[in-house]
Amino acid sequence: MRKAGVVLVIVFLMAAGCRESSDVHRRTQYLMGTVVTITVAGLAEEDASRAMSAAFEEIRRLEGVLTFFSEESDLGRINAAAGAREVLVSAETIEVLAEALRISDRSGGAFDATIGPLVSLWGFEVKDRFVPPKEEIERARTLVNWRNMSVDPNLRTVRLERKGMKVDLGGIAKGYAADRAAETLRKHGVSSAMVAVAGDIRAVGEKAPGVAWHVGIQHPREPGAVLGSLRIADRSVSTSGDYERYFIKDGIRYHHILNPATGRPAAASRSATVLAPTTILSDALSTAAFVLGPEKGIGLVQSFPGVEAVIVDREGRVHVTPGLAGKVEGLAS
Ligand code: ADP
Ligand code: MG
């Protein structure tokens, strides 16, 4: 009798274990210039697969609309018409640009989607990296100003006031794509999933009933190590750091998140992680908070309902919003 009980318990555990592993499905694709991983739980293989394919397809479609690297994309057409005329664009582009303008305004211009001329000048995409001459930084900087971009949601038009201006959505488009992919998954019957477009992550529901998704925050100076981790359900988290794309010259680290006020890589932080209700918001705010640094960055995120942050400052000290105090697991105090 007792023996049978033990056997039963073991079989039950095995079954539970099998079910856990067989209904968690994960796939990775290279999209938007980065690694996109989608995890779906609680569905049979075939249904999960169909949902993931549709979500990847949605990200691929958005990439075509929002990419900086094509003349035919909405963004390519907006940039080509700078200083000349307004351009008719898709509803998605209007949505992203309107949110970009809102965050530019709220962050006092620390986030600025018209950062394009500076991004091109610093050229973090090319192999031969060098620090641009001061005059060129100054010239590019005068073209960067979100106030010179007009977005008309009714007419669905966008206009850049000055010739040479360029919109770059590197600080917000991946987050938007994660939101849309999550929406696509839900439409396909998924209620438990995680979408990670590089460091822009959206959790759909919980991993399992009563079990939140577990997300690690990359340590900004120890590759492969985590600074701490967070539990999230139906929420987004984004990290902006100076360790992803950078070069070091004469002992100075030059990275891809630029301070529009100086035209140079922002120097106040090593990384900024933001939790928010949507990924478009966590993405844009992580870039803004990174540029602003711990004091102003924490102040900014606290002015948004339901938004929290973990900022590692230039000396490696960790700052968290009061709402997250004690909630970042494994964080050395
Ligand atoms: P990542 O792209 O590594 O996820 P971010 O979300 O912080 O990191 O975005 C950085 C990208 O955003 C840069 O590669 C550039 O395209 C763009 N960018 C750089 N500085 C700014 C800024 N101050 N405001 C808005 N976008 C920026
Ligand atoms: Mg960002």
Cα 311 to averaged position of ligand 2 atoms, centre (Å): 13
**CB-count exposure of residue 67 (10 Å: 0-12, 13-18, 19+):** middle
CATH superfamily of 24-65+171-324: ApbE-like domains (3.10.520.10)
Strands of 5-147 (E only): list them.
24-31, 34-41, 87-88
Distance 166 CA to ligand 1 centre (A): 14
Coil, strand or helix at 10: helix
Q: Report pLDDT for 125.
A: 64
With a cut of 50, which residues of the chain have pLDDT below it?
A: 1-20
Q: What is the pLDDT of residue 126?
A: 62
User: Is the minimum distance from the CB of 111 to ligand 1 under 6 angstroms?
Assistant: yes
How remote is the CA of residue 11 from the centroid of ligand 1, in Å?
A: 51
CB of residue 112 inside a 6 A radius of ligand 1: yes
Strands 226-232 and 213-218: antiparallel
SS (H, E, C) 219-283: CCCCCCCEEEEEEECCCEEEEEECCCCEEEECCEEEECCEECCCCEECCCEEEEEEEECCHHHHH
Judge if the beta carbon of residue 119 lies within 6 A of ligand 1.
yes
**Ligand 1 atom at minimal distance to the Cα of residue 124:** 14
Q: Which atom in ligand 1 lies closest to the alpha carbon of residue 113?
A: 25
Range list of β-strands (E), the chain: 24-31, 34-41, 87-88, 149-152, 157-160, 193-197, 200-204, 213-218, 226-232, 236-241, 246-249, 252-255, 258-259, 264-265, 269-276, 308-313, 318-320
Residue nearest to atom 5 of ligand 1 (CA): 171
Residue 284 alpha carbon to ligand 1 centre in Å: 8
**CATH class of segment(s) 69-96+103-160:** mainly alpha
Per-residue model confidence as pLDDT tens digits over 232-287? 999 999 999 999 888 888 888 888 999 999 999 999 999 999 999 999 999 999 99
| Domain ranges (residues) in the chain | 24-65+171-324, 69-96+103-160
Closest Cα to atom 24 of ligand 1: 111
- pLDDT of amino acid 123: 85
Task: State residue 267's pLDDT score.
Answer: 95
Among protein residues, the one whose CA lies closest to atom 16 of ligand 1 = 170
Q: Is the CB of 283 under 6 A from ligand 1?
A: yes
CA of residue 188 to ligand 1 center, whole Å:
31
* Cα dihedral: 60, 64, 70, 71 (round 10): 170
- What pLDDT was estimated at residue 244? 85
Question: Is the minimum distance from the CB of 165 to ligand 1 under 6 angstroms?
Answer: no
Contact criterion met (CB below 8 Å) for 204 and 167: no
Ligand nearest the Cα of residue 170 is 1
| Residue identifier of the C-alpha nearest atom 9 of ligand 1 | 171
- Give the per-residue pLDDT at 245: 84
Tokens of 90: 């898709």
- pLDDT for 23: 85
Sign, Cα dihedral of 97, 99, 102, 103: negative
